[in-house]
Amino acid sequence: MIQWTYAPSRLPPAKVQRRVVQWRKACQADVAPDRPVISFTFDDFPKSALNGADIVEKHGGRAGFYACTSFIGQRSPVMGEMFDGATLAELRARGHEIGAHTHTHLDCARARLGAVERDIGENLVALSETGHDETVSAFAFPYGETTYSAKRWVGEVFVTGRGILPGVNIGECDRSQLRAVELGGTAMHRRRALAALKTAIDAKAWLFFFTHDVGRTPTNYGAPADLLEELAQRAAESGAVLAAPTFGAVLSGVMD
């Protein structure tokens, strides 16, 4: 049974643990791109995220799609129709990157390391069973939730692990918990996204945006197409590279 509406703990012990984990870098990396790098990413992911691929491509870039494989071919009551094998093949043919996102949308802060490893292993096997035979080198933690040991392991298996702590990535970063700014439908989301983009352009940083569905009337988990359009256009005009996560890691000097 898929849990479509699970939410991580908001109790004080979980908050404290989250803070400790965020400051403990598991895989230190020096992020120093020559040009700002903007990575648009889509989690889980609903088929409407392809609208995001269209927009990023229109501005000369490619994006990242983190696939939670227990969602394949399912219909989410919150985000609509989810990706399937054909979606992955199309994205790959168009030059976008498919990343891992666990098989069961696991809260990696609440699971033992062995369970995290098994779930991600299952995720990778399920991806290859859909015909996706490329090496998967990008990962995003569901809910952004993780532990130090999970970050260590993810850093060994993947080039990048993306979290959901807001901010840009520049200088000494944890490549297994890269920061990311959420895109959504409110004025606050737009304000924060534009501010982060300006910071990234000024500092020549690596900025991740993340969302789920994309459309004219997105769900509470998604982003309006016109916000993506505005951000992608501004980023491209500023000379930033709109790069999928692993290419972003190359451009940022995190991976050669």
Are 35 and 202 spatial neighbours (Cβ–Cβ below 8 Å)? no
SS3 39: strand
Shortest Cβ 64–Zn ion spacing (Å): 13
Q: Does 145 bind Zn ion (CB under 5 A)?
A: no
| Nearest position to Zn ion, beta carbon | 43
Q: Does 213 bind Zn ion (CB under 5 A)?
A: no
Whole-number Cα distances in Å, 226 to 7, 42, 182 = 28, 16, 15
Q: ∠ at Cα 222 (4, 187), nearest 5°?
A: 130
Of 142 and 248, nearer to Zn ion (C-beta) is: 142
Beta strands in 101-240 (DSSP E): 138-140, 160-162, 171-174, 181-182, 206-211, 214-215, 223-224
* Contact stretch for Zn ion (CB under 5 A) within 27-35, 40-48, 131-139, 213-221: 40-48
Q: Using CA atoms, how far apart are residues 244 and 19, in angstroms rounded to an integer?
A: 27
* Contact stretch for Zn ion (CB under 5 A) within 129-137, 138-146, 183-191, 220-228: 138-146
Of 79 and 159, nearer to Zn ion (C-beta) is: 79
The residue within the footprint of Zn ion, chosen from 18, 21, 44, 83 (CB under 5 A), is 44
Task: Return the DSSP state at 103.
Answer: S
Q: Does 99 bind Zn ion (CB under 5 A)?
A: no
Q: Using CA atoms, how far apart are residues 186 and 188, in angstroms rounded to an integer?
A: 5
Of 213 and 241, nearer to Zn ion (C-beta) is: 213
Q: Does 161 bind Zn ion (CB under 5 A)?
A: no
Shortest Cβ 218–Zn ion spacing (Å): 15
Q: Using CA atoms, how far apart are residues 179 and 236, in angstroms rounded to an integer?
A: 21
* Contact stretch for Zn ion (CB under 5 A) within 29-37, 43-51, 230-238, 244-252: 43-51
Q: Does 43 bind Zn ion (CB under 5 A)?
A: yes
| Interface residues toward Zn ion, by CB under 5 A | 43-44, 142
